[in-house]
A and B are shown apart, each in its own frame.
Chain A
């Protein structure tokens, strides 16, 4: 490729200026600030544009009048002329036309990338050389080394070692590195743990559900039993209620009846006349009095009769012994004894008779009194009288008026009770309740154990809830859940296995790529070394014959004595070394002879080195274009002497 013309319409300080270049060595001379670097940058602008994204740093050449930078560049390639035109800094706004055929050239990326196979940065580091700093060793991205590593036979557009390595590393990182968003393997591992927990839980749930379902028949039986028990208790409560109503009915009826009879009888008159003694007679104490009088009377009657007999006997005995005494058959002591016995028993007999009569009278008097009281109330039995009297007292009706009022009240209550019964039951059913037909235990108790019933109800509710909960759980659903959890874990494991396998593949690919790169470096390094040695030999006028570049592109130099590393040389010598290396890279990195731009590379050189260098460039540029920019007039002269096309820039 040969750059033929540069047409700087508007670019930095240039305005509608044209420069014509030739094949071979071109020297552009200008003082400082005359625009030499601007010319080189114009070439970069034509090839790569000035979009900020390309980081060419060319946006600084925007004209100050606010217009857009623009221009064109004509070049020859494979004997065909082309023109690159740009109307502004935009990356896309570029056209390349084949001047021979008049056709537009379709660009894949930028003209520079299409021609050189490099981005703007790599182009500047390879084909454009400024000072010592921008050399291969500064090739941090490794693009030049990559390009060199592919050397001949590689197809354009192929990935470089660095790109492939980056690609594989990013793939490996995407599987393992936690710095990536959702790295495949850790993410899967993180998912697997809870999935396994879920599986365990699902299994447990499924088993529990199956087990619980087995409990259902038992629970239903339990429920049935409890409900039957409740039914029975309810029935019992009902019957008790009936019994209670029946009792209430009977009691109330009796009370009314009793009160009516009290009111209708003359008891109020009788009872109001009773004194304490009368009442005592009617009560148990009265009965005791009668009883005691009767018993005492009987007892004394018997005692009297016995003592009377004894008195008679003693009288006879006294008479007998008196007779015997007089008959001198006994002494007088016996007569005295029998006489005393006779007197004592006689006295006792009289005393007993008195007590007998007294008690008999008392008994008769009391019974007579009671009979009188009973007669007044027309009651035959004294106990009934007492009962009646007590009921009269307890009825709280000490007067007839109150009794009538009470009766009224009782009747009202009775009506309420009857109505209450009627609303719930047949009245006759309650009135004629057959208690013996109710066969529950303890039916006679007067209260019902509500708490016990409540307890049974709560048990029923508990069992029902248990049943509801078990029934709500679908064994099938839990089975499905378990199945899904199993499937999920299995899928995750498969994915994890696959991911691990893919990782192994990418790691293997990377290791093989590194081996290949190492192998090829061992091969291309000698080629770079061989060509750089030739250049360095020419530049140093034959002083050093070997410039070695190792696989990592570090340099050492050999004269006819020994090897030295680059750090032991002067700045100018190092400049020469790196220029040699750079030109080797240019030579070997592309089959096509592409232009080389050198920006005052020889400024550190002495005259001899400059002479050697221009002589070398004359040879080097025989089949390619070299554009050398300088601000030194002596360089122009030396270059001109070596056949260079000289272009002078105005101030």
Chain B
């Protein structure tokens, strides 16, 4: 796991919702640990807390979770948001249970003889680390499974947040490298014998962290890691484009929104497509009664295309529309017609502003 950001402010939400989300951050973490309590080792790759000076209750919560699973080893490093010299760690180190380890900025190696596992981890000393913290790190190549725990930026050479490279990860001799800093899980990577991945945050923190959030869970052996991403978030941030072409009334538009909103999540909805004549998009009407934790609406609709008129144009657009109309006549099902209509809109939108995008009316 990584980037828990306990105590995050959720500034773009109302006070009550932000408070609820903060408690959900905790709940999601404890739930994630509870549902994987058979794990021998839990690795947390930094940014456990959102800031160096979050409330001590966050550290107490963390410790309470750790205490609940004495048979599981919790290994943690500090990230750029919560560097090692933060007051929150000063407090937490004093109450850290025996089954937890917080790696120092000097880099530490811990060996678990019972599991035949060696873990090397390093914490951020301060909020920035302009040079890679993985320079000249090499774990022995023996019978022990080598794990690496680090918070850093694999994607930018000039990052002020521990710029690391795949070569450096591989040269550590780690069988699995648990990475933190990037909030979005992408995929499990493997280079030489090293499997590495950003697990991403366990719970989205804003509309820039949409989609699945969770942790990586699995078994690691020598030169092999059978690990998978698991979506464990309580809520997700979603960005949805809803094509309202064909919706003749505001109720129909609302129905489309209702169908798209599938749970108590956070939605950023963009209404796209053609706005039929007579339909007035009233945000209050559209969103009232819709069951979502948070919902925001943006309209990027255009006027309906007059296909018959466009088909008369003696140019590519005209010929395209003519082709489409003929296809529509031949279409055997409503679904086929729907697909053709969408294809027409997609091309006509593209005609509007070249390949840059649609000609839109906000």
The distance in angstroms between the C-alpha atoms of A185 and B80, with both chains bound, is: 34
Q: Offer 29 A-B interface pairs, CB within 8 angstroms, sorted by A.
A: A149-B315, A150-B315, A150-B316, A151-B314, A154-B315, A158-B317, A158-B351, A159-B354, A159-B355, A161-B316, A164-B355, A187-B187, A191-B229, A198-B231, A474-B35, A478-B35, A484-B231, A487-B231, A504-B339, A505-B346, A508-B327, A508-B339, A509-B343, A509-B346, A512-B320, A512-B344, A513-B320, A516-B323, A517-B319
Contacts of B318 in A (CB 8 A): 153
Known A153-B315, A473-B37, A517-B319; 10 more pairs at CB < 8 Å: A149-B316, A152-B315, A154-B316, A157-B354, A160-B316, A164-B347, A198-B230, A477-B34, A505-B343, A509-B347
Taking beta carbons and an 8 Å cutoff, which residues of B are in contact with A?
A: 31, 34-35, 37, 68-69, 71, 186-187, 212, 228-234, 236, 262-263, 313-320, 322-324, 327, 339-340, 342-344, 346-347, 350-355
Give A470-489 as 1s and 0s: 1 = Cβ < 8 Å from B's Cβ atoms: 00111001101100110110
The distance in angstroms between the C-alpha atoms of A478 and B36, with both chains bound, is: 9
For chain A, residues 95 to 136, give those with C-beta under 8 angstroms from any C-beta of chain B. none
Contacts of A151 in B (CB 8 A): 314-315
What 5 A-B pairs have minimum CB-CB distances, sorted nearest first?
A509-B343, A488-B231, A481-B35, A516-B320, A194-B228
* Contact of A182 (CB < 8 Å), options: B31, B35, B186, B212: B186
Contact B212 A488 (CB under 8 A): yes
Say yes or no: A163-B339 contact (C-beta < 8 A), given A150-B316, A481-B232, A513-B347: no
* Contact of A517 (CB < 8 Å), options: B37, B187, B316: B316
The distance in angstroms between the C-alpha atoms of A523 and B322, with both chains bound, is: 14
CB distance from B70 to the nearest CB of A (A): 9
Contacts of B339 in A (CB 8 A): 501, 504-505, 508
Contact A516 B35 (CB under 8 A): no
Asked whether any CB of chain B lies closer than 8 Å to the CB of A588, the reply is no
The distance in angstroms between the C-alpha atoms of A150 and B313, with both chains bound, is: 10
The distance in angstroms between the C-alpha atoms of A195 and B212, with both chains bound, is: 11
Contact A477 B31 (CB under 8 A): yes
The distance in angstroms between the C-alpha atoms of A517 and B342, with both chains bound, is: 19
CB distance from A613 to the nearest CB of B (A): 32
Asked whether any CB of chain B lies closer than 8 Å to the CB of A622, the reply is no
Chain B residue with Cβ nearest A509: B343
Chain B residue with Cβ nearest A190: B187
The distance in angstroms between the C-alpha atoms of A487 and B323, with both chains bound, is: 41
Asked whether any CB of chain B lies closer than 8 Å to the CB of A167, the reply is yes
The distance in angstroms between the C-alpha atoms of A387 and B35, with both chains bound, is: 77
Contacts of A477 in B (CB 8 A): 31, 34-35
Contact B68 A472 (CB under 8 A): yes
The distance in angstroms between the C-alpha atoms of A154 and B317, with both chains bound, is: 8
Chain A residue with Cβ nearest B227: A194
Contact B351 A159 (CB under 8 A): yes
Asked whether any CB of chain B lies closer than 8 Å to the CB of A520, the reply is yes
Contacts of B344 in A (CB 8 A): 509, 512
Contacts of B230 in A (CB 8 A): 198, 485
CB distance from A147 to the nearest CB of B (A): 10
For chain A, residues 157 to 209, give those with C-beta under 8 angstroms from any C-beta of chain B. 157-161, 163-164, 166-168, 182, 187, 190-191, 194-195, 197-198, 202, 205
CB distance from A143 to the nearest CB of B (A): 12
Asked whether any CB of chain B lies closer than 8 Å to the CB of A312, the reply is no
Contacts of B234 in A (CB 8 A): 484
Q: Which of B68, B71, B346 is the most central at the interface, judged by chain A CB atoms within 10 Å of its CB?
A: B346
The distance in angstroms between the C-alpha atoms of A195 and B63, with both chains bound, is: 30
Asked whether any CB of chain B lies closer than 8 Å to the CB of A294, the reply is no
Chain A residue with Cβ nearest B187: A190
Contact B323 A519 (CB under 8 A): yes
Chain A residue with Cβ nearest B314: A153
Asked whether any CB of chain B lies closer than 8 Å to the CB of A515, the reply is yes
CB distance from B327 to the nearest CB of A (A): 6
* Contact of B355 (CB < 8 Å), options: A153, A163, A491, A509: A163
The distance in angstroms between the C-alpha atoms of A96 and B314, with both chains bound, is: 33
Contact B350 A520 (CB under 8 A): no
Contact B355 A167 (CB under 8 A): yes
Contacts of B315 in A (CB 8 A): 149-154, 520
Say yes or no: A516-B322 contact (C-beta < 8 A), given A481-B35, A505-B339: yes
